[in-house]
């Protein structure tokens, strides 16, 4: 499965507005599933964290790096499930920040990404 970044505010807004949403702790994951319009084997994903959540850019950038790395590690193990569920776009939104950027580690972020992704796969698989 080819993984590529999601570009443009319209693309983010479209997924946030009409995608299936699930949460796991501080993570909110929205997914679009539609087999008709997207070539098989391509997954677009975007990550974001609001300025109201984390005031400092250092923290926002760290959270985004950790979310992207989590996706890079998790997708290869779940690519077949994602394809079968018809999921082609993901948006991950982190909704809380620790007091210091060094307090947040990949081991804190990855379990939330896995749980949310597994949940959205199971929900989308039922509706395909």
Residue pLDDT tens, the chain, 128 long:
889 999 999 999 999 999 999 999 999 999 998 755 555 678 999 999 999 999 999 999 999 999 999 999 999 999 999 988 889 999 999 999 888 888 899 999 999 999 999 999 999 887 65
Tell me how crowded residue 29 is: count the other CB atoms within 10 A of its CB: 23
Characterize the bridge pairing of strands 42-49 and 87-94. Answer: parallel
Residue 10 CA to residue 7 CA, distance in Å, equals 8
Q: Does the predicted TM-score (pTM) go above 0.85?
A: yes
The pLDDT tens digits of the residues spanning 23-60 come to 999 999 999 987 555 556 789 999 999 999 999 999 99
CB atoms within 10 A of CB 53: 16
Contact call for residues 119 and 22 (beta carbons, < 8 A): yes
Architecture of domain 2-126: 2-Layer Sandwich (3.30)
95 close to 53: Cβ distance less than 8 angstroms: yes
């Amino acid at each position: 499965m080819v993984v590529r970044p999601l570009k443009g505010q319209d693309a983010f807004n479209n997924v946030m507005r009409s995608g299936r949403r699930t949460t796991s702790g501080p993570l909110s994951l929205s997914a679009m599933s539609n087999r008709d319009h997207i070539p098989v084997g391509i997954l677009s994903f975007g990550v974001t964290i609001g300025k109201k959540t984390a005031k400092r850019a250092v923290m926002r950038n760290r959270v985004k790096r950790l979310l992207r790395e989590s996706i890079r590690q998790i997708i290869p193990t779940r690519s077949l499930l994602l394809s079968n569920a018809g999921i082609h776009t993901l948006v991950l939104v982190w909704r809380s920040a620790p007091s210091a950027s060094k307090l947040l580690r990949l081991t804190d972020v990855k379990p939330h990404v896995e749980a949310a992704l597994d949940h959205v796969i199971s929900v989308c698989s039922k509706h395909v």
